[in-house]
Chain A
Amino acid sequence: GAGVSQSPSNKVTEKGKDVELRCDPISGHTALYWYRQSLGQGLEFLIYFQGNSAPDKSGLPSDRFSAERTGGSVSTLTIQRTQQEDSAVYLCASSLVLHIRGETQYFGPGTRLLVL
């Protein structure tokens, strides 16, 4: 079956513009996660969804970041008024159920965002 897909694979935008990143999880996976990796940094957890609900948004870097998930499937991560420090690889992952005791997460290929 298909894995996690993300689009676009690369995005170059100008500072101040809004961008929308999309994630299609593996069919049937109820949990979905967003991460980012800035240059030279480790993976940073941003937010997770259980179904369409995101109970904890504290990992989002600022109020310019928002995420939603509809129909328990596709998720979008929106960054408003992008800044240069938003440049990073944004990874999405999904798992069959919410990670509690070791549920494996399957990652997408990422979206490479460059803010000029």
Chain B
Amino acid sequence: SQKIEQNSEALNIQEGKTATLTCNYTNYSPAYLQWYRQDPGRGPVFLLLIRENEKEKRKERLKVTFDTTLKQSLFHITASQPADSATYLCALSRNQAGTALIFGKGTTLSVSS
């Protein structure tokens, strides 16, 4: 069965540094890979989507890479701030309606000032 692993359950960094989160997957060929942010007690909030034929996507301080050979995505937050502290979820999906998103467990990022 398909498996998604996010590098660690928790990541602690200092304000101003770049946070790098990893998402690895097996037994799956996603057409899309998405990253979401989830704050405690709230629903996930969409951040970025990258397609299988794209290598990199950027949005403000966020950058996502997608390597279908390595079956890995990296999610970077540059110039991190304490407000970036949250759980970040990686989600895969195929190009087929009704197949839904497959989520990883998430990585909880803590940015200290």
A and B are interacting partners: no
